[in-house]
Amino acid sequence: MSRDSDERDPVRRRLLRRLGEPALSPLLSLKLRERYVALRRDLERLRSRDDGRTSKVRLDETGAFDLEAMAFLHGQARRRFEDTLARRRRSTARYAWIFLGLGAMFFVAWLYRLATMSWTVNATVTALQFTPACAVFFLLALLFGLENYQIRLGRKVSVREFFSAPSGFWPR
């Protein structure tokens, strides 16, 4: 190497450093490495933790709700827990009827839209994209109705048993 290239090399390094730092600063400001490490740590903590998200529903030998154990797990007296269950039963009935009404309303609106629209590709895609909203409302009504039925009976009930109930499965 010549002496000229050795002398220019420190200057070139300083120049590249001065130009490179501002050019790389947007990438460095993202702190991708730190975010990746934090994400891995959070995922590991979520996968391994037991923070009380286990079910607080306890059943006795017959399959009925064990109200004493459930009241204890919720930190309430039995009488207060029964009142809480009664409030929950009323609220699940209310939510079931609300979501059933919304599902029916969206379904009727969807049928009206299908009957009155001109059949183009965009309109068909829009009509198909609307169906999940109807399904979500009906499924939420089913979920709240099932929970209401389980609270009324005081035991766990399968969906099949819920629909084949002789006393009716409509929320009350």
**What is the per-residue pLDDT across 84-111, written as a single tens digit (0 to 9) for each?**
888 988 999 999 999 999 999 999 988 8
Residue with tokens 């391994």: 48
The per-residue pLDDT for range 113-163, each reduced to its tens digit, is 888 888 888 878 888 888 888 899 999 999 999 988 888 888 888 888 888
Q: CA-CA distance, 41 to 58, in Å (whole number)?
A: 33
Distance CA 64, CA 85 (A): 14
What sign does the dihedral 52-151-169-91 (CA atoms) show? negative
Determine contact, residues 149/169, Cβ cutoff 8 Å: yes
**Distance separating alpha carbons of residues 130 and 113, to the nearest angstrom:** 10
> Looking at the predicted structure, is the pLDDT value of residue 72 above 70?
yes
Of the two residues 94 and 72, the one the predictor is more confident about is: 94
User: Which pLDDT score, from 0 to 100, does residue 138 have?
Assistant: 94
Q: What is the pLDDT of residues 26-35, one digit of tens each?
A: 666 667 778 8
Q: How many CB atoms lie under 10 A from the CB of residue 150?
A: 19
Residue 74: what residue type? H
